[in-house]
Amino acid sequence: MIIFIHGFRSAPTKERYIELKDINQDVLMVQMDYTDPIGSLDMLRNIVKKHREENDLILMGLSLGGFFAKIVGSIHNVKTVLINPCLNPEEVLKFANGEDLPNYKTRKYERFSEDFSNILRQIKEDHENIPSPPIKVFINLHDEFLNSNETIEYMKERNHSYRVFYIGGHQFSHWKKIKEDVQEFANKIICF
C-alpha cells in the first residue's frame, strides 16, 4: 500500500492517483490541511497507525508532503519515499505567514497563521533526533522551488538512497521511471 501526501497548496488529484495505482494497486491519498500543521501531523499519524501492519506499506510524500512523510515514517518505522522533499519548510515557506493563498488544485484560498513557519520549525525540532527508517528519495535537479543540491547533500550525509533526474521541475513527472525502484523498495525485507 502507498499512503501519498501531497505538497503545499495542493490536493490529491485523479491524475496522481492513476500514476500511483500503476506502482501499487492499493493507494490512499491523504488530503492535508497545511493551514493546521499540527492537526495534519496528528491525522497522518493516525492513518499510518491504522495501516501500519501492512507488509508493503510505503509512506510517499511530494515536497511539503515529503517533510511530513519523513517525520511520520520515522515515528512509526515505515519505509518512506520522498519526492523533491521540502526538508527546511520553516525557511522555504516563510512567505506564507499571515497570508491568504490559493490552492493550486482547488483554487480555494487558504489562510495561514502568522506563526506558520515557526510551527513548522517546532515540528521539525521536535522530531529531528528520531532515527529514520529506510528512505528512498527521487530528486529533480531543476526544481524551481527547492534547492535540489541541498537535498542531495542531506541525503548523502545520512546515507539515504536517492536518484537524480536531470530534467523536470518541482511537480515531478517521472512516475513511470520510478515504478520499479519503488516496487523493489517496498518488497525489501528490512529489520527495524
pLDDT band, residue 192 (cuts 50/70/90) = very low
- The predicted-structure confidence for 11-45, as pLDDT tens digits, reads as follows 998 999 999 999 988 999 999 999 999 999 999 99
Domain ranges across the chain: 2-187
Share of residues in the chain with pLDDT > 90 (%): 77
pLDDT of residue 190: 54
User: Look-up: residue for cell 497545511?
Assistant: 34
Give me the mean pLDDT over the 124-148 stretch: 92
Cα separation of 144 and 39, whole Å?
28
Q: What is the mean pLDDT of residues 130-153?
A: 92
pLDDT tens-digit map of 45-92: 999 999 988 767 999 999 999 999 999 999 999 999 999 999 999 999
132-155 average pLDDT score: 92
- Determine the CATH number of domain 2-187: 3.40.50.1820
